[in-house]
Amino acid sequence: MNEHDEPRFDAAAFLMRAGLGRRVVRLEPRQPFFSQGEPADSIFYLQKGRAKITVISHAGKEATLTLLSAGDFIGEEALAAAPGLRLATATTTSECTALKIERQEMIRAMHEEHDFSDMILKFLLARSMRIQADLVDQLFNSSEKRLARILLLMAEFGKPGESETFIPPITQETLADMIGTTRSRVSFFMNRFRKLGFIEYNGRIKVHKSLLNVILHDHLPDEDTETPHESGRPEE
């Protein structure tokens, strides 16, 4: 290597180790990374574990927006030109290890390291596409299909590598919030999926790839899955 050569920036190492403007944090289940309304002054890179993003309305009602897993960034709104307040709350759903990166250090690395900024851009585009897919899902799909999609996403079917057939612990209330229905309907669909052999659960939920049938086909065997309340959020 001649005197003009510089070591190549290692994005993976940058995101896995503490350094100037960044430190490793470890959180227990149900601990917040940050809360809605706090200053958006840092970004987290989730190295290990699972988390969720929630929002709370003025009336105090909480809704779960999305679930996160290792390899995701949390709080990327801090990269905005004019940093403001957190629009949502990020909370762990399992033991988590994450790299907390100060906003200025993140911006510096993106400006100076093109490979790193390319990686962040790809992540942001993927996140945007996921949000659009979630919106389409809410607008056009039945609550049964929305539940199937969430379970498949949690099991990481469709991602490179081996999928995790056992999904992290999650309550039926949280699933109901995410798909816009009631806990009783989630319970009904979960029992139906189990009877059809799409999932198993005995303490933990195991998802089979055959659950894709719910996404790919409009009609399934047995009774009609819709009710008069399926337009919008049904009543108990």
Please determine, for residue 177, whether its predicted confidence score (pLDDT) is greater than 80: yes
- CATH 2.60.120.10 in the chain is located at 11-135
Distance of alpha carbon 61 from alpha carbon 229, whole angstroms:
21
CATH of domain 142-216: 1.10.10.10
Distance of alpha carbon 168 from alpha carbon 165, whole angstroms:
10
- CATH 1.10.10.10 in the chain is located at 142-216
End-to-end CA distance of the chain: 69
Distance of alpha carbon 113 from alpha carbon 11, whole angstroms:
9
Question: Tell me: the pLDDT tens digits for 37-62?
Answer: 999 999 999 999 999 999 998 888 88
Please determine, for residue 194, whether its predicted confidence score (pLDDT) is greater than 50: yes
User: pLDDT at position 125, please?
Assistant: 94
Query: How far is C-alpha 175 from the geometric centre of its chain's CA atoms?
Result: 13
Nearest residue to 136 via CA among 126, 123, 149, 125: 149
Please determine, for residue 10, whether its predicted confidence score (pLDDT) is greater than 60: yes
Contact yes or no for 174/186 (Cβ under 8 A)? no
CATH of domain 11-135: 2.60.120.10
Q: Are strands 42-48 and 73-74 parallel, antiparallel or unpaired?
A: antiparallel
User: pLDDT at position 14, please?
Assistant: 94
Please write down the long-range contacts of 7-10, taking CB distance under 8 Å and 24 or more positions apart.
9/113, 9/115, 9/116
Please determine, for residue 221, whether its predicted confidence score (pLDDT) is greater than 60: no
DSSP string of 62-111, one letter each residue: EEEEEEEETT-EE-GGGGSSS--B-SSEEEESS-EEEEEEEHHHHHHHHH
What confidence category does residue 65 fall into, taking pLDDT thresholds of 50, 70 and 90?
A: confident
Averaged pLDDT for residues 202-211: 87
pTM of the model: 0.77
Question: How many CB atoms sit inside 10 A of residue 151's CB?
Answer: 23
User: pLDDT at position 180, please?
Assistant: 85
User: pLDDT at position 161, please?
Assistant: 55
